[in-house]
Amino acid sequence: MLQQKLPTLILGGGGYTIRNVSRCWTYETAVVLNEEISDDLPYNDYYEYYGPDYKLHSQPAAMENMNIPENLEKIKAKVFEHLRQMQPAPNVQMHVAPAAFGNDDQEEEDDPDARFSQHAADARQEHGAEFYQSNKGAE
């Protein structure tokens, strides 16, 4: 069977524990890639979190299932009702936006030894809630 290589986006939910989230995603990624991987976890900075067995697959705990079937059915019905009421999002194709017409600052930005114009500097402003560290001021 010929397999097509298509872009794939895998989304997770919530409720993970720190000891299991990386196990889960490691296993799920292997399944998606159709790869066999070892059950032995390699040593890493967080190795101690995975004791005492240090394996990819953890043994299920002997817990009693306290879920009441009627409650689960009510929750399932509520989720389906919410999904039924949602409006679908339109499909928008991704594309690269063309450069702005009459952008005279382009030549200035190409020269690494030239100062930025005020327009170019303003265009590089970052939102304070971004998760990456800025290179601003690093010279």
pLDDT at 24: 85
103 is a domain residue:
no
Residue 41, pLDDT > 80, answer yes
17 is a domain residue:
yes
89 is a domain residue:
no
Q: Half-sphere exposure of 115 toward its Cβ, with a 13 Å CA cutoff?
A: 2
133 is a domain residue:
no
55 is a domain residue:
yes
Domain that includes residue 54, residue range: 11-60
pLDDT at 131: 56
Encoded tokens for 106: 């382009």
pLDDT at 135: 53
Compute φ and ψ for 41, nearest 5 degrees: -80, 135
41 is a domain residue:
yes
* Max CA distance (Å), the chain: 69
Q: What is the mean predicted confidence (pLDDT) over 91-116? A: 61
Compute the distance between CA of residue 106 and CA of residue 33 in angstroms, rounded to an integer.
42
Which comes out higher in pLDDT, residue 126 or 75? 75
Total domain count, the chain: 1
- Mean pLDDT score of the chain: 76
34 is a domain residue:
yes
pLDDT at 70: 95
- pTM, rounded to two decimals: 0.41
H-type alpha helices, the chain = 18-33, 69-85, 106-110, 118-123
Residue 64, pLDDT > 60, answer yes
117 is a domain residue:
no
